[in-house]
Amino acid sequence: MKLIHYVLIAVASIGLSSPANAYKEVTVSNGGTLTGTVKLEGQVPKPKGYNLTTLPDQFYCGRISDGEGWRILQPFNVGPEREFRDVLVYLEDVEKGKPFEDEGARTIEAKDCLFLPFTTVVRDSQPVTVVNMDPVMHDIQAYETSHLGPRVLFNVPLPMNPAHPRNLKDRSDAGMYHKHMAGAPMKQLVNLSKGRRVFVMQCGFHAYMESWGVAVTNPYFVKTDEQGRFTLTDVPPGTYKLVVWHPYVRSATEQTVTIGPKGTVDTQLVVAAPTGRLYANEVLDHAYNRYNVTEETKKEIDPMIKKQSH
């Protein structure tokens, strides 16, 4: 059975609904399979842009930049055929089903002045471990967020490996240094308030370092792959809400799907791209008019690892 739906997705500032009952693990002998594809319809939103001369460690973090002195963060990972990658797909209202494996603390790496992955899926009250792989200091600032407003979860420094060089102020030295070595892991508990399921983590030193997290209540979740596809298996027969989530799409969606015994349902989900300005630091067409960055300064920040495009 194939379903085609045009959907909108929940923005991170809106609280995701919580189930009334706790999830129960049972043997699923006649479970079905839910597969599908998520595509983005419309113009891909502009990325975020951060001027490297206004933030610390411009030479090291500028190894990946646009060659004009800007670091680009594109929250929307969209393929050539409009496939919407790395978005979260999950089922609500699943009261019982396959084992909800506890995989321990999720790991988020600070690498090349990015937090990876961009989206992390956790269980509520599950710890996350953050590791600094870079030769520069980072700082973790984590907040839970919903329509109720933000609340601080934790704020701790993220130390670098002592074997890294301590001073990379020269452009050539910073640009040619490619080693990644783990600093001391920082394990923090993600303990969200009642009714909240979303948190965001940023670096207090480098504003372009950003990572989002969602707390799920059952094991029926997955992120879309490079083709925008997803698969959920061993789903107990029944009717559920299918949710697709991305932190920068404003409107919520709850799509009803019915899974029969040992049945397979295939869905094609088309998400309307958000329009208008999504964030204050959107890439500007004439950014240097705002910051008065000189041509000489631009030349000093050379993307020796990767040249980004807008």
| Residue 291 confidence (pLDDT) | 57
Share of the chain above pLDDT 70, in %: 86
Do residues 90 and 220 make contact, with C-beta atoms less than 8 angstroms apart?
Answer: yes
**Of 127, 145, 125, 130, the residue nearest 199 (C-alpha):** 145
Mean pLDDT, the chain, whole residue set: 85
Confidence grade of residue 8 (pLDDT, cut at 50, 70, 90): very low
Confidence grade of residue 41 (pLDDT, cut at 50, 70, 90): very high
Confidence grade of residue 5 (pLDDT, cut at 50, 70, 90): very low
| CA-based end-to-end distance of the chain | 39
| Residue 252 confidence (pLDDT) | 66
What is the pLDDT averaged over residues 30-41?
96
Q: Residue 132: is its pLDDT beyond 90?
A: yes
Q: Residue 114: is its pLDDT beyond 90?
A: yes
Q: Residue 263: helix, strand or coil by DSSP?
A: coil
| Residue 292 confidence (pLDDT) | 60
Per-residue pLDDT tens digits for 186-213: 998 888 888 788 999 999 999 999 999 9
What is the pLDDT averaged over residues 127-140?
93
Q: Residue 243: is its pLDDT beyond 50?
A: yes
What is the pLDDT averaged over residues 16-40?
84
The residue that leads in pLDDT, 69 or 75, is 75
Confidence grade of residue 115 (pLDDT, cut at 50, 70, 90): very high
Predicted model pTM: 0.86
Neighbour order of strands in the sheet with 2-7: 2-7, 264-272, 32-41, 229-235
| Residue 32 confidence (pLDDT) | 96
Q: Which residues of 45-62 are buried (b: 16+ CB within 10 A; e: fewer)?
A: bbbbbbbbbebebbbbbb
| Residue 194 confidence (pLDDT) | 80
Per-residue pLDDT tens digits for 246-281: 999 987 667 899 999 999 999 989 899 999 989 988
Q: Residue 159: is its pLDDT beyond 50?
A: yes
**C-alpha count within 13 angstroms, C-beta hemisphere, residue 139:** 7
Retrieve residue 70's tokens: 């800007």
| Residue 19 confidence (pLDDT) | 45
What is the pLDDT averaged over residues 217-227?
95
Q: Residue 188: helix, strand or coil by DSSP?
A: strand
Q: Which residues, at least 6 apart from 203, have a Cβ–Cβ distance to it below 8 Å?
A: 110, 115, 138, 139, 140, 141, 158, 209, 210
What is the pLDDT averaged over residues 34-42?
95
**Of 170, 157, 162, the residue nearest 130 (C-alpha):** 157
Confidence grade of residue 10 (pLDDT, cut at 50, 70, 90): very low
Q: Residue 288: is its pLDDT beyond 90?
A: no
Q: Residue 84: helix, strand or coil by DSSP?
A: strand
| Residue 12 confidence (pLDDT) | 42
The residue that leads in pLDDT, 79 or 125, is 79
Confidence grade of residue 44 (pLDDT, cut at 50, 70, 90): very high
Q: Residue 287: is its pLDDT beyond 80?
A: no
